[in-house]
A and B are shown apart, each in its own frame.
Chain A
């Protein structure tokens, strides 16, 4: 279980103290998948950076399975928006990077898991390629493989599908969910797509504008529904969410115009 209490982040910019996030308090059960939905600049990426151990300077608490969140103790899989593959490592070496950093032996069991995930994501033929030789969708699948191979205690994704075109995105989402259903790692992902949040989030956390705090947590009844996009409930829920966040995001819409 991931227990977040009064988590907030401030940083200094031009000698001003900018309050970027929080305070946030929430509990995430093991095996949950949480969608965080918020306007750009609401601090949702900052939130993920705290959970992934990249930002160490924060107030409050984040406790995962009875230990303060620490990437040295926990296995944290992090998929950034640009997929985070290292350009100088082949797909195979990228996928196995976590094992190498964590000093885990490459046992038969691990190898089986790796082979299974690689085949499931259909990247077996790409193992010797370098990231620059991959399409966006292929990079995405390699990044998902890397995250699942390490058997993470916590899986974090920052707008994981936003860089893909619409068709590739739907395929990737389906592939991800079917893999996720098999291993069920505790997952937090950030998105600005209501549809993606409904499709992939067991719970949907809606964040308010800067500094980001939790406006509402919705239990998503439509999670793991087949043919979601044709479902009437889907339209209802998405318009409900849309109405709910309209107020909170108005500020940003004005800015964009």
Chain B
């Protein structure tokens, strides 16, 4: 029932976007904006262009970036929620660095960590980790104290309390945050892949652009969109499995 609803939503959106695109392409009537039909017919040639290798390269960077951000962010967020001392120490740092546009640090990160994958992953982590920290800390602090009462009257250990109360209670917010993080990571990825690499969908799009291969460029855009969409669906599935109680 639910997945059918989701497929319907996807198809509706897909049709709407493509109709709009088509109308725009017809009105503008320029070489730089081909109709979706032209682009889709060209998709067949992408395998020869080794698009899948670019996708894998991007996937690796996004997954590592988001993965590391989650591990770091959840740990630090929990630390800040549980320990007043750590919250006092780390809060100014988080507060101060949160609004700094960290994409501006790309040159610094590349100078320090080289041109390879590491600098791209680090940039993603730098940006995503702060929102994870804040979301986790606030989610834990927002659990109302009486939620813990029945389990504490059972003499539960700290680990049991974490496993049965804290973790499930913050899970919905954690997943929402994962969703936001992946969206953010994809945008950063596109930006970061413009430099010092010959792999990744971001590179693929920019490369096609400079070669005036507009059909290829649009194919790349479609690929990165589908890529993001698949990740979103995966989170939907995760959400349904872990937060069934909420729906």
A interface with B by C-beta (< 8 Å): 49, 52-54, 70-74, 76-80, 82, 84, 86-90, 97-98, 100-102, 130-132, 150, 156
Contact = CB atoms under 8 A, between A and B. Distances in A.
B153 A86 contact: no
B105 interface: no
Contacts of B168: 86, 88
Contacts of B108: none
B92 interface: no
Interface string B123-167: 000000000000000000000001111111111100010001100
Pick the 5 closest A-B CB pairs, nearest first. Answer: A71-B155, A72-B155, A78-B153, A84-B150, A52-B153
B152 A130 contact: no
Contacts of A71: 152-155
Nearest to B165: A86
A88 B173 CA distance: 14
B150 A78 contact: yes
B146 A82 contact: yes
B169 interface: yes
27 contacts: A52-B152, A53-B152, A53-B153, A53-B155, A54-B149, A54-B152, A54-B153, A70-B155, A73-B155, A76-B153, A76-B154, A78-B149, A78-B150, A78-B153, A80-B146, A82-B146, A86-B147, A86-B150, A87-B245, A88-B168, A88-B169, A88-B171, A88-B245, A89-B245, A97-B150, A101-B164, A150-B154
A73 to B, nearest CB: 8
B244 interface: yes
A80 B152 contact: no
Contacts of B244: 130
Contacts of A88: 168-169, 171, 243, 245-246
A48 to B, nearest CB: 9
B149 A52 contact: yes
A86 B169 CA distance: 9
Interface of B: 146-156, 160, 164-165, 168-169, 171, 243-246
Contacts of B245: 87-90, 130-132
Nearest to A75: B154
Contacts of A52: 149, 152-153
Contact of A97 (B164, B171, B246): B164
A149 to B, nearest CB: 12
A129 B246 CA distance: 11
A102 B155 contact: yes
B153 to A, nearest CB: 4
Contacts of A76: 153-155
Listed residue (A49, A54, A72, A130) with the most chain B CB atoms within 10 angstroms of its CB: A54
A54 B155 CA distance: 9
Given A76-B154, A130-B244, A130-B245, A101 B160 contact: yes
Contacts of B150: 78-80, 84, 86, 97
A130 to B, nearest CB: 4
Contact of A101 (B147, B154, B169): B154
A150 B156 CA distance: 14
Nearest to B167: A88
A80 B164 contact: no
Contacts of B152: 52-54, 71
A89 B169 CA distance: 11
A101 B155 contact: yes
A256 to B, nearest CB: 24
B158 to A, nearest CB: 12
A52 B164 CA distance: 19
B155 to A, nearest CB: 3
B238 to A, nearest CB: 15
B160 A80 contact: no
Nearest to A71: B155
B145 to A, nearest CB: 9
B149 A80 contact: yes
A52 B154 CA distance: 8
B153 A156 contact: yes
Contacts of B155: 53, 70-74, 76, 101-102
A88 B168 CA distance: 7
Contacts of B171: 88
A194 to B, nearest CB: 26
Nearest to A133: B245
